[in-house]
Amino acid sequence: MKQRGKKQVYIFKPDAGCQGRGIRLLQGGKEEAVVKLLKEMEQPNVVAQHYLAKPLLVHGYKFDLRIYALVS
C-alpha cells in the first residue's frame, strides 16, 4: 500500500461481518502498521479497500448491488 500524495485512508472489514462490526480504519498504510492492525483484528480474513470520503449515495444512503445469476 503506497501513499499517493497525501495520506490515504484504508478501511479493513472482516469478510464475514455485518452492520459495521469489526471495521477498522488506517491512515497511511505503512507495512508495520498494517501488520499490527491485522494482528489486533478478531477475524483472520479481511477485505482492505481505499476509504471513499464521498461515496455514491441513493437518497442519502449507501447501497450495494448484489447480482445473482443461474448458469446452467
pLDDT tens readout for residues 47-61: 888 888 888 999 999
In sequence order, what are the residues at sequence separation of 6 or more whose Cβ sits closer than 8 angstroms to the Cβ of residue 53? 9
Q: Which helix (H) or strand (E) holds 71?
A: none
Cα-to-chain-centroid distance, residue 52: 10
| pLDDT score recorded for residue 59 | 93
Banded pLDDT at 1 (limits 50, 70, 90): very low
Q: Quick one: average pLDDT of 19-32?
A: 77
Q: What is the pTM of this model?
A: 0.57
Banded pLDDT at 29 (limits 50, 70, 90): low
- pLDDT above 90 (res 71): yes
- Residue 45: phi and psi, rounded to 5, are -105, 125
How big is the chain, counted in residues?
Answer: 72
Neighbours of 27 (CB within 10 A): 13
Listed by start position, the domains of the chain span 1-72
